[in-house]
Structure 1
């Protein structure tokens, strides 16, 4: 066996000058969009009807050039190395027994920041929709006489996340986890210009592009965590970090309450510039996945990274006549035996999660305002419910790690479905009982966030290395596809469904997913990834 010798340097790029020049160009391009935004200060930042000026157009050109330079900068030489064709099974056994080190903690912190920033983007849709509808005169519960439904904005944004999840899932398996994550990060920066777009059509386009970047971050982050964290800590740590979805919702609702009254809804998009640059600045603590490097034949790089993480690489020979190349067949391999059953269960759970997140959660601020709450009070109620649910995230993470992944998924799905049924029964009468409303919102806001983290973690554990990123991307994409379905229904009906209706639509697939996981799917608790994928038949005669 031969390997390409190219020892990694922490934070190194194949073409570092191109990368950093691209980041500078992108950042400058976003800043050049701000003069028009601040110029509308006397009109409370209402930019409807304005036309892009020369400064803004120059910024768009710089962003295009910067994105090309960043892409060139992160692409690995020769597309990431050649797939190992030798008949062998790689096992990073000591990594699964290694203690948690500072390197692990640094990686988890950086990815927690990335996931929080990532989830804040679709969560922000909930809080910008009312303001967008008012500024552009769009059809909404507060303006039933508008001609164009405001629902087009979240539809384009969530539609972008579906495409982004699948595209980045493939990229993560082709060019590497680290490169794909950094490409998504730079999209966070550039698409913040959505907050400075004067026309609604421009908002739709930028929201779609923003969704592509957002959709790509989550699945790759989970794949990287799964391949780097020791087995006995892997499950609960992934769910705990991924469960920060609830924290992102808290942060977004707080920012909406604090900033929008002064700077309008647009500021919630523009803060993507500093948050995205923060993530890029932390890139030196993001390693490439050693398992990915091994499969790509870059063993020396993998060993150097594993040494930093307190582990080593072992090579386990397998019987002649077998090969793991059956998993290098793209997305279609996920729907073939022996993965098909597990993929079905993951897809149903993911769709249910998306229906609640983008059906129930997305329209909560709008529905609360429709019931008489002010914009500030609705954000206040949602923030309190999300805060009450934060300890629930820790409980779910502990259950996933010590009780088991399959039991946790079933229990969580059933609990979420039963709580949602409370909204079906009580309906709009909850508007008169603020305490009961806040308590009932805890599960749909926090439990669904935990379900999203659990399904992402599980998908990152049950597929082999060269399918892991695609599997995670499929799960994330199906969750967003559930959102596209429910938002498309809203657009077609030109009205926002009630809390009771969105709760019912989400509860049904969650119950079905619980049944499927009782029947299908391996347990992943404390098991090395190679053992899990071996059980699923990663090596096929």
Structure 2
């Protein structure tokens, strides 16, 4: 098979029902990973009351899952580059579903923390592998929108758990929130049947014959879906490989992951607890307020999905970071003196931070060549998880010792540094993966 044959054949494929089906199946898995990831934020107030948790135990319940996600992200990319993207998605799905079953029936705090760690391994393993896979199927001119419309399911999952928990926790209790996380196990059969392995990865990993077979099946499926002949194959131009290019990219995208997720989870994880402990709101009201913030974040994710192919990756990342920084600095300056003030400004901040977070799931896999794309994306995910761990710890410590303004000021500084970093990022809009990363 001629070099570059599979990427060129993927590039010529028009948008089709086949693309939508694959994106929705993988997206359903990612939706529930988002749902499971933030479930702790909306069950923690009830958990704390039921088990009498101290502040340190609350922090451990939060960070145990984040540490698991860090390990999952660290390992999954290397594994996905060796055994395939779809295999890692299926393995992570199985781990997450089983751990959710255990969390739903957990008898006490210690097993709960251990199961949160295992759940985190599954979540951290699925997200970079799935994002890499979807990006490898997309045509360069519409890759931004194609990938980010898929990635919208993750913030949709974050929003859904807020909505579901606000309804279920007061009525049925916190265990039912984790029980819902078992449902994605039903997707294993459809994925095995309808989601093929990435032909880009198959070709790059030396499985040329299988890559050709998968590519031919995809082409037949797209032709059946569109009812038209496929366009001719246009050869792809490969850029010369420069090792220092990848070091610079890794530093930049790693900082963006770290800083943006530090801000995201620094505020999102503690919001329900701040509403109940600082402002004395009942759990049901605290969860309802948190829903509003999650919905605002989801709107920001939609905005970046629609804009990223028009204005570019760098503009979305830098602009979103700068606007988030301004919002958090304003919140710190005003002092977060009321629940409504916190609600309004945290919602605006979430809108911009979610946009940056989502944009990175598109941008990071674009920066690495196919043989190491999942590993490169998961390395960014490692910094992501460090931010997820550090954000809640720092915000919790600052809020407890210096007050809420200091905590929100730290979030503003983090996003200001993210904006400066994003201005140094390389633009990838409209270029094939092979042009960006030979």
Give the one of 215, 237, 260 matched to 1:353. Answer: 260
Give the one of 117, 132, 152 matched to 2:32. Answer: 117
Aligned positions of 1:358-437 closer than 5 A: 358-370=265-277, 371-431=279-339, 434=340, 436-437=341-342
Aligned to 2:226: none
Structure 1 residues 63-85: Cα deviation after superposition (integer angstroms, max 9, x where no partner):
xxxxxxxxxxxxxxxxxxxxxxx
Structure 2 portions without partners, runs of 5+: 223-229
Confirm or deny that 1:463 pairs with 2:368.
yes
Structure 1 residues 387-411: Cα deviation after superposition (integer angstroms, max 9, x where no partner):
3454432221121111111111111
Measure, in 1, the Cα distance between the counterparts of 2:334 and 2:85. 45
Confirm or deny that 1:478 pairs with 2:383.
yes
Give the one of 419, 434, 437 matched to 1:530. Answer: 434
Give the one of 141, 156, 161 matched to 1:252. Answer: 161
Measure, in 2, the Cα distance between the counterparts of 1:278 and 1:338. 42
Give the one of 210, 231, 244 matched to 1:337. Answer: 244
Structure 1 SS opposite 2:196? coil
Confirm or deny that 1:97 pairs with 2:12.
yes
Cα deviation for residue 101 of structure 1 reads 1.0
Cα deviation for residue 221 of structure 1 reads 0.9
Cα deviation for residue 157 of structure 1 reads 0.7
Relative distance call for 1:491 and 1:349 in structure 2 (3 A) is: same
Measure, in 2, the Cα distance between the counterparts of 1:473 and 1:94. 27
Which stretch of the first structure deviates more once superposed, 461-470 or 131-140?
131-140
Measure, in 1, the Cα distance between the counterparts of 2:88 and 2:35. 19
Structure 1 residues 152-177: Cα deviation after superposition (integer angstroms, max 9, x where no partner):
11111101101101111111111100
Give the one of 194, 204, 217 matched to 2:126. Answer: 217
Rg larger in structure: 1
Confirm or deny that 1:505 pairs with 2:420.
no
Aligned to 2:143: 234
Is 1:352–1:510's contact at 8 Å kept on the other side of the alignment? yes
Measure, in 2, the Cα distance between the counterparts of 1:380 and 1:496. 27
Cα deviation for residue 90 of structure 1 reads 5.7
Is 1:91–1:313's contact at 8 Å kept on the other side of the alignment? no
Tell me the TM-score normalised to structure 1 length. 0.73
Higher helix share: 2
Relative distance call for 1:92 and 1:134 in structure 2 (3 A) is: same
Which stretch of the first structure deviates more once superposed, 284-293 or 160-169?
284-293
Aligned to 1:439: 344
Is 1:238–1:453's contact at 8 Å kept on the other side of the alignment? no
Is 1:352–1:482's contact at 8 Å kept on the other side of the alignment? yes
Aligned length: 424
Structure 2 SS opposite 1:183? helix
Confirm or deny that 1:282 pairs with 2:190.
yes
Aligned to 1:169: 77
Structure 1 portions without partners, runs of 5+: 2-85, 141-147, 327-335, 535-541
Cα deviation for residue 314 of structure 1 reads 8.2
Aligned to 2:170: 261
